[in-house]
Structure formats: structure tokens, C-alpha cells
């Protein structure tokens, strides 16, 4: 432990500098106009893995963005940890809301503000530095493999193909991922589950052209009005989702699980104040933690139609669109929910419009075991570096790859996230506390140490 702290102390500045360099790449995978930057980011990650001491580093091409692979095999009889992360980031929009430019990392009261600061550049890079630390201090206790992808924010479509094609190379005893959050630094936690995702785009077409709202208004269906009515009908008065069969396969928590989940510290007033809302909203009969961690949800991520420019235009538009995504929980499956939604949405469309539903991407929900050697190692590592045992929580987000690993490689995952819910992931002014960054670099070597010990 002393040795770890000392090495971090000696390389403090450089560790931060390198992360800043990484954050300056606008590696937005959703928008083609950033293509070059995304590719440059992959090369940078590969370069850093080499410098840290990884062997067989390779920028593996895919049909989309490349996957960066690297490894250090010290003894094939020792256990192997596969570290997963992603170097791509969410789009920065709405740009005007950023206090400082999203791709010019800026420090304000101890926090790094930049797109990707927490999700996931700041977090996966802790592993690269922790690995460097173990190499340079000659304390690497097990084999380690890195797989850092560039399409997590757009559904990891090509990672699945890559994994299927590289089962031998990716052989490992556990997958270690830092792409989730803790309750707080005072209340360290470990996520034991993730929600799946089904993301679609819908289009509602009315008349074959934009119409004058005076000449036709009142006699022809307005696609915005119809889309609004269709969206409105997806939640009932208790905010239950009304799609037939939607909840059929939802795994119900045991009372113990409920109790454990709700034992995590939670201050509703604080929660509301942080978001500046007078009242919370959600499925009747469930707590906030249950709603975000253990219940499936449906959100409209974007909507547009008609005239959205300056001033007024009295138009009855030809069409309206929306991006809709559903978060899934065990034992729902992305394909099934996508189909159920599509059938339902087409079914509720009135004859006065034409509806098209286009699936974007999906991911499966997962629950990670809490009795595994890897989970225990994570508990020990956190307990030692934070001086407090981690609280098990359920994450609301989705990392489709976790389920994929289980299915394809038969390996379980440990989610050792060091972010905070208040880090504004996917939002303007995303941040990551410098403290958390160093804390992660300090904790990860301990995980490897205990994982190797407990695996004996």
C-alpha cells in the first residue's frame, strides 16, 4: 500500500496530464464527422498501453471503430483479469450549456470538466496507470488483458463479432470494468447489476406535405398531435408502462434484496434539490433506487417535428419523429422488448397516419454474483483503500458487453466504478473528481493482489 501511494505521489502530475491529452480527442462515435478523432484516440490508447508495459498491443480493425487490445502474461498458471473500457464518448450537445469547452479539460474546485472525464476515459485510464504502477514497481500479481473499444456509446455492435472471433485470445477468469458509479466517496459501493437497453426511432407521417394550418387545420391529422397522444399512452396514470407483455419476464426482487438495496443512504430532498425539481416522478409503488436499478423504464430521448426555427410558422407538418429507449432488467431481452414495442406502437397508430419504427441498438440486462472470488477481492480492495466496506447497489445504466461476455466467454464481470451519479454523464459539464481518479489508481492494484491471493 505504501509503495502504491508513493508511486502515485511521484507521478501525480503526469497521470493527470496524460488523461487530459486523452480527453482532448473529441471521440464521438455517434457522429460521423468526428471519425478521424475517434481513430486517433485508439492509436493514443494503444501507445499508452505499450509505454505502460503491455505486450502484443494491437489496434484491431472492425466494421466500425477499432478495438485496442494489449496484454501482459507473466505466468499462465496464474489467474487472468480482462479489463474492459471504452475510449468513445457521447455527443457534447447541447454545446451552449457547457461552462468550458467539452474537449478542453478544465479543473474547477478539484473536478475535471470534459466530455468523457468520467464516462469512460477517466475511468478506464485508471487501469492503464494502475497497470503501469504494478509493472514499474514489479508487483503485478496476475495476468492482465486489456480490451478498450470505441463503440460503447452506439451499442457496441462490432465488439460482439470481435469477441466471438477471439475467444482464445480473450480467455480470462474475470472481467473488470470501471464504467459505473459509487454512492459517494464516503459511502463506497459496488454495482451488482446493470439494466439492458432497447433503443428505437419512430416516425409518424400524416399528409404527404407540410400544410397551411389555416387551410387544412382541423380536417387533417397533425402528426405531432398524434405522436404526442401515442407517447402519452405509453405510461398509465401510475406511470406503469402500458405495452402488453412488457413486464411479463421482469425478475421480482426478494425482500432481502429490496432491503439491501434500500439500505443505501438516500436523501430525497437532496436528490430533488440537486435536480431542481419540486416533485419526483416514477412507477407507483417503488423507491427511487428500485425505479432506477431494478425496474424497466421507457424514456423519450428526443422529439422533433414541424417548424422549430425562430419566430412563427403556421404549418401543419407532414411528419414527426422521436427517439425512444427502454431500460431493461432481468429477465427481459432486448430483441423481445424491441419487438413488443414495435408491434404495440404500430398497433396503436390511427388510420390517419403511417408509422415506422426503426431499432437502433440494444443490450441485455445483467446481475453480477456477490459470492465470487472476484467480487470478494473487489470488496477487500475497496474496504482497504476507503476504510469502509462497499454497499451493493444496482446500476441503472447499461453496458451491453457484460451480458455478451457471460454468453460468449462464460466469464462473470466485476463492476468497480469510481464515478458519481452527479458526474453529469451524457450531459453538459460532465466531470470527474481528481480525488476519485487517484483513488481508483490506488484501489485497482489491491484488487489484482487480492484476486490473485483468493484465487489460490
Residues 211 to 240 in contact with its own copies, rule: CB under 8 A: 211-222, 224-225, 227-229, 231-235
Among 398, 413, 436, 443, binds its own copies (CB under 8 A): 398
**Least distance between its own copies and beta carbon 327 (Å):** 6
User: Considering the rule CB under 8 A, would residue 27 count as an interface residue with its own copies?
Assistant: no
SS (H, E, C) 106-143: EEECCEEECCCCCCCHHHHHHHHHHHHHHHHCCCCCCE
User: Considering the rule CB under 8 A, would residue 314 count as an interface residue with its own copies?
Assistant: yes
Among 2, 279, 371, 387, binds its own copies (CB under 8 A): 279
Interaxial angle between packed helices 434-455 and 373-386, expressed in degrees from 0 to 180 and rounded to the nearest 10? 140
Work out the widest C-alpha separation in the chain, in whole angstroms: 79
User: Considering the rule CB under 8 A, would residue 396 count as an interface residue with its own copies?
Assistant: yes
Interacting span for its own copies (CB under 8 A) from 15-23, 61-69, 318-326, 407-415? 318-326
96 catalytic, yes or no? no
Among 306, 339, 367, 409, binds its own copies (CB under 8 A): 306
Question: φ, ψ for residue 312 (rounded to 5)?
Answer: -120, 140
User: Considering the rule CB under 8 A, would residue 170 count as an interface residue with its own copies?
Assistant: no
Residues facing residue 431 across a β-bridge: 113
Among 72, 115, 129, 291, binds its own copies (CB under 8 A): 291
Interacting span for its own copies (CB under 8 A) from 57-65, 160-168, 183-191, 425-433? 425-433
Q: Which residues, 6 or more positions from 291, have their beta carbon under 8 angstroms from its beta carbon?
A: 282, 283, 297
Which 37-96 positions form the footprint of its own copies (CB under 8 A)?
90-91, 93-94
CA dihedral for 26, 95, 117, 411, sign (positive or negative): negative
Nearer to its own copies, 165 or 215 (CB): 215
**Least distance between its own copies and beta carbon 4 (Å):** 30
Number of chain positions touching its own copies (CB under 8 A): 99
**Least distance between its own copies and beta carbon 70 (Å):** 28
Residue 381 CB neighbours (<10 A): 22
Give the residue among 442, 437, 396, 394 at the shortest CA–CA distance from 116.
437
Cα 156 from Cα 65, distance rounded (Å): 10
Cα 417 from Cα 154, distance rounded (Å): 20
Q: Cα–Cα distances in Å, from 418 out to 46, 101, 131, 182, 384?
A: 23, 24, 17, 6, 15
User: Considering the rule CB under 8 A, would residue 197 count as an interface residue with its own copies?
Assistant: yes
Nearer to its own copies, 239 or 372 (CB): 239
Are 454 and 376 spatial neighbours (Cβ–Cβ below 8 Å)? yes
Catalytic residue among 18, 88, 120, 257: 88
User: Considering the rule CB under 8 A, would residue 35 count as an interface residue with its own copies?
Assistant: no
36 catalytic, yes or no? no
Are 133 and 7 spatial neighbours (Cβ–Cβ below 8 Å)? yes
User: Considering the rule CB under 8 A, would residue 387 count as an interface residue with its own copies?
Assistant: no
Catalytic residue among 119, 120, 149, 152: 152
User: Considering the rule CB under 8 A, would residue 266 count as an interface residue with its own copies?
Assistant: no
Nearer to its own copies, 9 or 279 (CB): 279
Give the residue among 195, 184, 298, 295 at the shortest CA–CA distance from 250.
295
Are 125 and 19 spatial neighbours (Cβ–Cβ below 8 Å)? yes
User: Considering the rule CB under 8 A, would residue 346 count as an interface residue with its own copies?
Assistant: no
Q: Which residues are catalytic?
A: 88, 152
Amino acid at each position: 500500500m505504501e509503495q502504491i501511494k508513493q508511486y502515485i505521489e511521484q507521478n501525480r502530475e503526469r497521470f493527470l496530464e496524460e488523461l487530459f491529452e486523452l480527453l482532448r480527442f473529441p471521440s464521438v462515435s455517434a457522429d460521423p464527422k468526428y471519425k478521424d478523432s475517434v481513430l486517433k484516440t485508439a492509436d493514443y490508447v494503444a501507445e499508452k498501453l505499450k509505454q505502460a508495459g503491455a505486450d502484443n498491443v494491437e489496434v484491431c480493425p472492425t466494421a466500425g471503430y477499432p478495438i485496442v487490445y494489449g496484454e501482459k502474461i507473466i505466468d499462465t498458471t496464474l489467474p487472468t483479469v480482462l479489463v474492459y473500457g471504452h475510449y468513445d464518448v457521447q455527443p457534447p450537445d447541447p454545446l451552449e450549456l457547457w461552462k468550458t469547452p467539452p474537449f478542453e479539460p478544465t479543473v474547477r474546485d478539484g473536478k475535471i470538466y470534459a466530455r468523457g472525464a468520467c464516462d469512460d476515459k477517466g475511468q478506464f485510464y485508471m487501469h492503464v496507470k494502475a497497470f503501469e504502477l504494478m509493472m514499474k514497481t514489479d508487483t503485478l500479481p496476475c495476468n492482465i488483458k486489456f480490451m478498450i473499444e470505441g463503440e460503447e456509446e452506439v451499442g457496441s455492435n462490432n465488439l460482439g463479432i470481435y469477441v466471438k472471433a477471439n475467444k482464445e485470445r480473450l480467455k480470462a477468469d474475470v472481467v473488470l470494468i470501471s464504467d459505473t458509479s459509487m454512492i459517494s466517496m464516503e459511502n463506497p459501493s459496488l454495482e451488482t447489476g446493470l439494466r439492458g437497453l432497447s433503443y428505437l426511432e419512430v416516425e409518424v407521417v400524416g399528409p404527404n406535405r407540410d400544410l397551411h394550418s389555416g387551410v387544412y387545420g382541423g380536417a387533417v391529422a397533425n402528426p405531432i398531435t398524434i405522436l404526442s397522444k401515442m407517447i402519452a399512452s405509453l405510461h398509465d396514470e401510475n406511470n406503469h408502462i402500458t405495452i402488453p407483455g412488457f413486464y411479463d419476464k421482469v425478475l421480482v426482487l426478494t425482500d432481502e434484496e429490496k432491503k439491501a438495496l434500500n439500505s443505501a443512504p438516500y436523501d430525497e430532498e437532496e436528490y430533488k434539490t440537486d435536480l431542481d425539481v419540486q416533485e419526483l416522478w416514477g412507477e407507483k409503488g417503488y423507491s427511487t433506487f428500485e425505479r432506477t436499478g431494478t425496474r424497466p423504464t421507457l424514456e423519450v430521448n428526443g422529439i422533433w417535428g414541424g417548424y422549430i426555427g425562430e419566430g412563427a410558422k403556421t404549418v401543419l407538418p407532414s411528419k414527426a419523429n422521436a427517439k425512444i429507449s427502454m431500460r431493461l432488467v432481468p429477465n427481459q431481452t432486448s430483441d423481445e422488448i424491441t419487438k413488443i414495442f414495435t408491434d404495440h406502437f404500430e398497433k396503436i397508430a390511427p388510420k390517419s397516419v403511417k408509422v415506422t419504427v426503426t431499432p437502433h441498438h440494444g443490450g441485455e440486462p445483467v446481475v453480477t454474483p456477490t459470492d465470487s472470488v472476484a467480487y470478494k477481492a473487489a470488496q477487500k480492495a475497496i474496504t482497504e483503500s476507503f476504510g469502509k466496506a462497499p454497499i451493493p447497489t444496482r446500476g441503472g445504466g447499461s453496458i451491453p458487453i457484460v451480458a455478451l461476455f457471460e454468453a460468449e466467454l462464460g466469464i462473470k464481470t466485476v463492476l468497480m466504478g469510481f464515478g458519481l451519479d452527479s458526474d453529469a454523464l451524457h450531459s453538459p459539464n460532465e466531470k470527474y473528481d481528481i480525488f476519485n481518479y487517484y483513488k481508483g489508481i490506488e484501489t485497482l492494484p489491491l484488487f489484482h493482489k487480492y484476486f490473485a491471493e483468493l484465487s489460490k
